[in-house]
């Protein structure tokens, strides 16, 4: 009597039917094995940012079903979403708050990685890709701000594109590229909508896949010990104790996601996204302010020459993105990196002060 060993070892039912044809078992098994040091302190900030991006995709898709990206219909479509569509106000408010929280948690994620020196060898490429994700996320906030086509959105976009136009050398071309003309108009709205719902999501999805691949291959950094460098003797250290990625770490992430989802619903219910009067290019509001994540630049432009106010933030972002290329020291503990930590503290204080004064009327 003969037996089919391969078929007897395969699981039954639909899972077995798929496995015998695609052989996904080894692939899925590899996905669920990521080195997670037990003393790693991630605070789940990266996973929360990923979860908020998923919320943005879902709610943004639902909003796009009812949105009309033309000056004549954009404002009315947003009004209809808020007033006529079942739970439209909630979906729009969740989208609004998820966008703000996504930028906040991404900034905290970057700060955590900097403090723990997790951008150093061998994770330089992971940091560089993360810098691209940060820029794209800010681009989401900038392009999505205009879409309601109300007074605040219109005039904040006028100010924001003028700031972009102040970049030396490429400023005029950048201004024309963003606006599609000399003024913020129908062409600007169409471009911002296309960039917001198509270009940026595709770019972010590609970089996000690359980022997750790098994290999977390298594992999470140990915040207490640097990675052994090639060609150098490994320093003496206790054996590294790892935490199972599945189900332990995944379960912790899911619990954090539930907490964030609850916070989103509460914020959206208590502080729903507002809508000012329809955009009017002939009536300039008394006080025009951008969203909180642009307030520091907004305030900086009030106290320094325009060229400095535009170049300084761009240069700062570039320095942060390429940080691993010139900070090659092996130390990872904050107390052994006093200069780097002091620079970060000064930067955070400056940003907090500028944001505070920028928020004042």
Between 319 and 2, residue with greater pLDDT? 319
Q: In the structure, what pLDDT confidence band is assigned to residue 73 with cuts at 50, 70 and 90?
A: very high
Q: What is the pLDDT of residue 230?
A: 82
Output the pTM of the full model: 0.91
Task: State whether residue 55 is helix, strand or coil.
Answer: helix
CB atoms within 10 A of CB 349: 10
Sign of CA dihedral 205, 208, 209, 210: positive
CB 279 within 8 A of CB 149: yes
Classify 150 as helix, strand or coil: strand
Contact residues for 68 (Cβ-Cβ < 8 A; gap 6+): 74, 76, 77
65: tokens are 């079903």
Q: How confident is the model over 210-263, as pLDDT tens digits?
A: 999 999 999 999 999 888 888 777 677 778 788 889 889 999 999 999 999 999
For residues 153 and 141, the answer to whether their CB atoms sit within 8 Å is no
Is the predicted pLDDT of residue 188 greater than 70, yes or no? yes
Name the pLDDT band for 2 (thresholds 50, 70, 90): very low
pLDDT reported for residue 88: 96
The pLDDT tens digits for 262-315 are: 999 999 999 999 999 999 999 888 777 888 999 999 999 999 998 899 999 989
pLDDT for the residue 9: 56
> Between 360 and 268, where is the model more confident?
268
Token pair of 23, please?
A: 């052989």
Q: What is the 8-class DSSP label of residue 169?
A: T
DSSP label of 242: B
Tokens of 216: 């999977």
The string of DSSP letters for 59-84 reads HHHHHHTT---STTTHHHHHHHHHHT
Element housing 28 (H / E): helix 25-31
Lookup result for tokens 């970060």: 344
Which residue do the tokens 């060898």 mark?
121
The whole-number pLDDT of residue 290 equals 86
Contact by Cβ (8 Å): 66, 272:
no
Residue from 258, 351, 347 nearest 44 by CA = 258
The domains located in the chain, with CATH, are: 38-222+243-359 (1.20.810.10)
Segment among 197-206, 285-294, 344-353 with least mean pLDDT: 285-294
Residues 75-118: tens digit of each pLDDT: 999 999 999 999 999 999 999 999 999 999 999 999 999 999 99
* Rounded Cα distance, 335 and 343, in Å: 13
Place 39 in a pLDDT band, splitting at 50, 70 and 90: confident
Q: Which residues contact 316 (CB under 8 A, 6 or more apart)?
A: 347
| DSSP string of 312-357, one letter each residue | HHHHHHHHHHTHHHH------SGGG-HHHHHHHHHHHHHHHHHHHH
Q: What is the pLDDT of residue 361?
A: 63
């Amino acid at each position: 009597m003969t037996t089919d060993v391969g078929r007897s070892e395969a699981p039954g039912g639909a899972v077995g039917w798929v496995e015998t044809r695609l052989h996904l078992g080894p692939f899925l098994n590899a996905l669920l094995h990521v080195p997670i040091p037990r003393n790693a302190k991630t605070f789940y900030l990266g996973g929360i940012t990923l979860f908020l991006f998923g919320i943005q995709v879902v709610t943004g898709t639902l909003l796009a079903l009812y949105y009309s990206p033309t000056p004549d219909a954009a404002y009315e479509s947003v009004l209809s979403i808020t007033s006529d569509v079942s739970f439209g106000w909630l979906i729009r408010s969740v989208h609004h708050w998820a966008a703000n929280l996504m930028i906040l948690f991404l900034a905290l994620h970057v700060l955590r990685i900097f403090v723990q020196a997790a951008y150093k060898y061998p994770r330089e490429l992971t940091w560089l890709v993360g810098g691209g994700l940060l820029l794209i996320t800010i681009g989401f906030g900038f392009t999505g701000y205009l879409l309601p086509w109300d007074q605040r959105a219109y005039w904040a976009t006028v100010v924001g594109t003028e700031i972009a136009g102040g970049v030396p050398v490429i400023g005029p071309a950048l201004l024309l590229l963003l606006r599609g003309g000399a003024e913020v108009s129908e062409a600007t709205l169409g471009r911002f909508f296309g960039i917001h719902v198509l270009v940026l999501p595709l770019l972010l999805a590609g970089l996000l896949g690359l980022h997750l691949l790098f994290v999977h291959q390298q594992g999470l950094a140990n915040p207490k010990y640097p990675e052994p460098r090639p060609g150098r003797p490994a320093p003496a250290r206790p054996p590294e104790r790892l935490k199972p990625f599945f189900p332990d770490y995944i379960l912790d992430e899911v619990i954090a996601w539930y907490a964030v989802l609850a916070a989103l619903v509460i914020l959206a219910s208590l502080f729903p996204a507002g809508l000012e009067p329809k955009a009017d290019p002939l009536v300039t509001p008394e006080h025009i302010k951008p969203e909180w994540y642009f307030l520091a630049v907004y305030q900086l432009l009030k106290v320094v020459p325009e060229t400095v106010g535009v170049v300084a933030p761009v240069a700062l972002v570039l320095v942060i993105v390429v940080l691993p290329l010139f900070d090659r020291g092996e130390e990872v503990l904050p107390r052994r990196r006093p200069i780097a930590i002091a620079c970060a503290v000064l930067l955070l204080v400056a940003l907090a002060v500028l944001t505070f004064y920028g928020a004042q009327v």
